[in-house]
Amino acid sequence: MNNIWLLMLPVLLLVLACNNNKNATEASGRPSFEKVIGTRFIEIRRQFDNGYSFNSYGFQQEPEWVLEFVSEDSVKIYSPFEKKFLHYPVFFDHDSIFNIAREWVRLKHVSKDSLIFQLLQVEQKVVKKDRSNVSMKFYSKAYLDKKHLDAKELQKPKSRDTAYVLALVEKANMYADKPDSVLAAREPVKLISKSPAISIKQSHGVRDIMDPSRAEEYLNPEYSISIDGAYKDFTHSFTVVVDEKGKMHLGRFAVSEEFVESRTRVLKGIIDVYLHKYLTIIPGKTLGIPHASEIKIYLKGKGRK
């Protein structure tokens, strides 16, 4: 009899530990992920609280996460860059608020079929309500299979997103000479050199989906351009608005007020003499629609010897 109790002791301890963890979770007011542990979820929609996946500047909310809770305190999320699932701790704060994969989220719904999170902007442990306006919706793989739904199709922008972008494109193209009116291009401007004397390097590379600065690739595209055999040595940094036809319009640059006029003449001259002449300029696009967008240029000229 004693031997039987000894054999059963580890099982009893495990049951007690599970019950204690469950009771502790319930006592803390923490929502539980117990019923979805081991369930694969695919994000199918990420949008602002106005129902659009784009904002007025052109930033796009993209459904990207594929996740699976391993336990109440850990989750694995697929990285397409490393082509494997990466494990992250799940930290509970309060009021359904968790930190997952370096993101603060509020759990809005959890079931075997779906998950909904609200993305939160947190500064110094305070939730910024006006900027916590994005929701993330997931369906379980089992639900998608049962309903014969294609996750990739569900992840595509909706018709309302297209209508919203078309309105923004119309405004951007109407005021292509005004940087404040343009739209960030989801497919940034492409600059292709037509001369061996001109080299181009785009500054922003591809980042992991967990990197919050990844959107900089298209929100603030930067290009370093070098010109050999220029009229003299020079270095300039400035922005241009590339309109829907691929024409550059001088944008912003930093210089003392007394030099604005002369610098404007110089930069417009460089754009016309070098950039328009020796570059193939392909305008930026959003949802396949070409439109005016702003880019930053770091330009270096090396004079003839």
Amino acid symbol at 85: F
Q: Residue 11, CB half-sphere, CA atoms under 13 Å: how many? A: 5
Strand-pair category, 66-71 with 103-110: unpaired
Backbone angles phi, psi at 7, to 5 degrees: -70, -35
First to last CA, the chain: 99
Alpha-carbon span 54 to 165, nearest angstrom: 8
- Cα angle value 121/207/161 (rounded, 5°): 60
Residue 16 has pLDDT above 50, yes or no: no
**Confidence at residue 7, expressed as pLDDT on a 0 to 100 scale:** 42
**Confidence at residue 19, expressed as pLDDT on a 0 to 100 scale:** 45
Mean pLDDT of 14-41: 68
Q: What is the CATH number of domain 21-155?
A: 2.40.128
Q: Where are the domains of the chain?
A: 21-155, 178-303
**Confidence at residue 208, expressed as pLDDT on a 0 to 100 scale:** 57
**Confidence at residue 1, expressed as pLDDT on a 0 to 100 scale:** 43
Comparing CA positions, the residue from 248, 251, 247 lying closest to residue 237 is 251
Residue 48 has pLDDT above 70, yes or no: yes
Residue 116 has pLDDT above 80, yes or no: yes
DSSP 96: T
**Confidence at residue 209, expressed as pLDDT on a 0 to 100 scale:** 56
Q: Label residue 43 exposed, middle or buried (CB < 10 Å: 0-12, 13-18, 19+).
A: buried
Mean pLDDT of 197-216: 71
Mean pLDDT of 257-276: 95
Q: How confident is the model at residue 128 (pLDDT cuts 50, 70, 90)?
A: confident
pLDDT in tens, 70-106: 999 999 999 988 899 999 999 999 889 999 998 999 9
pTM recorded for the entire structure: 0.82
Average pLDDT, the chain: 88
**Confidence at residue 207, expressed as pLDDT on a 0 to 100 scale:** 54
**Confidence at residue 212, expressed as pLDDT on a 0 to 100 scale:** 53
